[in-house]
């Protein structure tokens, strides 16, 4: 009985040791994934698809390498996994902002002091995008929303009202 | 599961509080206030879930990731030309010239310049706009993160 108790104690002690040993590796893995995602963001520059693919592969590697450790700290594992996915999505949006932000273009323009700046090239480009993504259609030189465009406009309009973005 | 829900609820609270400074400024201009709000709410949220088995590192990673995604979406909602065009076309179909006129009048370059001045990135200096130190720092970062050829090409637009 005593001997069995000893065995039980030593097993639980082993589990505790495993938990403590696995925990830092899970956390190191999480931070390494975040750092790798950021480095990939810097290195891939405007190659959006490349960043998206490599980023997902890095998160997959984190999952493969740590899901065995996660039995002892399952909450931490899911916190890190969700955090890494959201970090990846956030970096994707920031990359799109860097590529398309008119305010940044305006800042670059003020830096280079090159002639007058106009919104028209940007509006023309966005209209082309809207047509390509089937949000807007054109007939007799007038642009109108498609069904898909109307749904998105309704959603965005409601969000703008909630966020009081209307000027 | 409970700690995850509590963390997301804490984040939602931070987002709601952030709407107060965001009523008067755009997200980039109010970034320091927003970071302070998130820091304070994150500390309170972590204290709330302290009894759960979640470590501070994994809590931070989740908060950082959620913050970055929210920042991107919120910023896009504020400034996206495409979304503005959809909202304008919701009222009635328009020609490209009409769209450009209305856009310039309500959301155009003048407004964006004003916002950049308010955000401390540009300053008016004897009838000329100049980059502030903060503006130069942001631009250096942007040049580093983007293809140099793309920046050169766009500066010539």
For residue A145, the chain B residues in CB contact (below 8 A) are: 86, 89-90, 93
B77 CA: distance to closest CA in chain A (Å): 8
Each residue's pLDDT tens digit, A78-100:
899 999 999 999 999 998 888 88
CA B81 to chain centre: 14
Per residue of chain A (167 residues), give pLDDT as tens: 444 444 444 444 444 444 455 568 888 999 999 999 999 999 988 788 999 999 999 999 999 988 877 566 788 888 999 999 999 999 999 988 888 888 888 888 777 766 667 778 888 888 888 999 999 998 888 999 999 999 999 998 888 887 765 54
Beta-carbon-side half-sphere exposure of residue B127 (alpha carbons within 13 Å):
0
In chain B, pLDDT over 90 holds for what percent of residues?
A: 30
Spatial contact of A34 and A81, defined as CB atoms under 8 Å apart: no
**pLDDT tens-digit map of B62-82:** 999 999 999 999 888 888 888
The answer to whether B86 contacts A152, with C-beta atoms less than 8 Å apart, is yes
Answer whether A78's CB lies under 8 Å from B52's CB: no
The 10 Å Cβ neighbour count of residue A107 is 23
Assign residue B94 a region (left: φ > 0; alpha: ψ between -120 and 50; beta: otherwise): beta
Contacts of B93 (CB under 8 A, 6+ apart): A142, A143, A144, A145
CB spacing of A86 vs B95 below 8 angstroms: no
Quote the tokens at residue B53.
């088995």
Q: How far is B15 from chain A (nearest CA, A)?
A: 11
Best probe of the B interface among A44, A95, A107, by most B CBs < 10 A, is A107
**Please, which pLDDT band fits residue B123 given cuts at 50, 70 and 90?**
confident
Q: What are phi and psi of B129, to 5 degrees?
A: -90, 135
Position B62 scores a pLDDT of 95
- Residue owning tokens 């879930």: B49
Q: Tell the residue number behind the tokens 């950021």, with chain if given.
A: A38
Average pLDDT for residues B141-146, to the nearest whole number? 82
Report, as an integer, the average pLDDT of B29-44.
92
Q: How many residues does chain A have?
A: 167
Average pLDDT, integer, range B43-54: 86
List, for residues B86-109, the tens digit of each pLDDT value: 988 988 899 888 888 888 887 778
DSSP state, A72? G
pLDDT, position A140: 83
pLDDT of residue B59: 93
Distance from CA of B37 to the nearest CA of A (A): 17
Which pLDDT score is estimated for B31?
A: 86
- What does the pLDDT read at residue A21? 56
pLDDT of residue B52: 78
Q: What is the pLDDT of residue A152?
A: 92
A121 contacts on B by Cβ (under 8 Å): 157
């Amino acid at each position: 009985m005593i001997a069995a108790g000893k065995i039980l104690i030593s097993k639980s002690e082993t589990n505790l040791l495993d938990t403590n040993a696995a925990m830092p590796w899970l956390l190191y893995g999480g931070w390494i994934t975040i750092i790798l995602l950021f480095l990939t963001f810097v290195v891939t520059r405007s190659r959006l698809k490349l960043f998206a693919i490599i980023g997902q592969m890095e998160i997959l590697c984190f999952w493969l390498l740590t899901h065995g450790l996660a039995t002892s700290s399952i909450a931490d594992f899911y916190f890190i996994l969700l955090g890494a996915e959201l970090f990846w999505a956030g970096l994707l949006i920031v990359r799109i902002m860097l590529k398309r932000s008119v305010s940044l273009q305006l800042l670059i323009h003020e830096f280079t002091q090159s002639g007058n700046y106009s919104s028209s090239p940007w509006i023309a480009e966005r209209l082309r995008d809207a047509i390509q993504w089937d949000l807007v259609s054109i007939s007799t030189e007038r642009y109108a929303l498609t069904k898909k465009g109307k749904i998105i406009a309704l959603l965005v309009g409601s969000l703008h009202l909630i966020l009081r973005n209307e000027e | 599961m409970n700690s995850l829900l509590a963390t997301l609820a804490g984040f939602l609270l931070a987002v709601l509080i952030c709407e107060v400074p965001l009523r008067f400024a755009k997200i980039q201009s109010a970034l320091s206030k927003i970071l302070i709000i998130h820091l304070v709410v994150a500390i309170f949220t972590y204290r709330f879930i302290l009894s759960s088995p979640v470590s501070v590192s994994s809590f931070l990673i989740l908060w950082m990731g959620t913050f970055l995604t929210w920042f991107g979406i919120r910023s896009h909602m504020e400034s996206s030309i495409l979304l503005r065009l959809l909202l304008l076309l919701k009222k009635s179909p328009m020609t490209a010239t009409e769209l450009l006129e209305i856009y310039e009048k309500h959301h155009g370059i003048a407004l964006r310049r004003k916002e950049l001045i308010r955000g401390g990135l540009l300053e008016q200096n004897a009838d000329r706009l100049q980059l502030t130190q903060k503006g130069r720092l942001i631009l250096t970062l942007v040049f580093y993160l983007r293809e140099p050829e793309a920046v050169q090409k766009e500066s010539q637009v």
